[in-house]
Amino acid sequence: MSARSDVAVEKLLSGYNCAQSVLYAFCDDLGLDNDDAMKMASGFGGGMGRAQEVCGAISGGVFALGVKHGRGEGQDKSATDETYLKVRELLAQFAAERGSTICRTLLGCDLNTPEGHDFFQQNDLRNRTCKRCVETAVEAVDKIL
């Protein structure tokens, strides 16, 4: 595990969501304001607003890739194509390591039900699953950047 992964895991375990934690780990290198980055990523935890779609750790990684390689105003469309390739690489690496890119599949419970929330807590899924997803996303983005 890298120092950057340690930073992301520390954020996750201190109560921030997976997307925030991953993006935060790259803020210094990308020249992002920490507070702005945390706000931008805040809605992407739990697979986008706890909808349990694409894992928030991946979303945090997509933010980082976009900041580094994305198309800015007045730039050529080729930057978009390059970014899309890098995002697909992140998705492939994450799926190969974790078995899925979908939050509900990774967790095996529905966070929007009392039973699912209890299951998440009782099985310590923040440590057992989310932590590993954050580490995987950070390591993949580190390689891709």
For 109-130, how does the pLDDT look when each residue is reduced to its tens digit (9 = 90+)?
A: 999 999 999 999 999 999 999 9
Q: What is the pLDDT of residue 2?
A: 85
Q: Where are the alpha helices (DSSP H) in the chain?
A: 3-13, 18-24, 27-30, 34-41, 56-69, 78-98, 103-107, 114-122, 125, 131-144
Q: What is the pLDDT confidence band of residue 61, given thresholds at 50, 70 and 90?
A: very high
Record the pTM. Answer: 0.95
If one counts every other C-beta atom within 10 angstroms of the C-beta of residue 61, the result is: 33
Q: What is the pLDDT of residue 108?
A: 97
Residue 32 has pLDDT above 80, yes or no: yes
Residue 1 has pLDDT above 90, yes or no: no
Q: What is the mean pLDDT of the chain?
A: 96
Token code pair at residue 132: 């590993």
Q: Which domain holds residue 95?
A: 3-144
| Those residues with Cβ within 8 angstroms of residue 104's Cβ, 6 or more apart along the chain or in another chain | 47, 52, 53, 110, 111
Q: What is the pLDDT of residue 62?
A: 98
Q: What is the pLDDT of residue 57?
A: 98
Task: Calculate mean pLDDT across residues 23-41.
Answer: 97
Q: What is the pLDDT of residue 19?
A: 98
Token code pair at residue 77: 């469309």
Task: Work out how many domains the chain is built from and give that number.
Answer: 1
Q: Which of 139, 32, 133 has the alpha carbon at shortest distance from 24?
A: 32
Query: pLDDT tens digit string along 65-112?
Result: 999 999 999 999 999 999 999 999 999 999 999 999 999 999 999 999
Q: What is the pLDDT of residue 30?
A: 96
Q: Are 59 and 44 in contact (CB under 8 A)?
A: yes
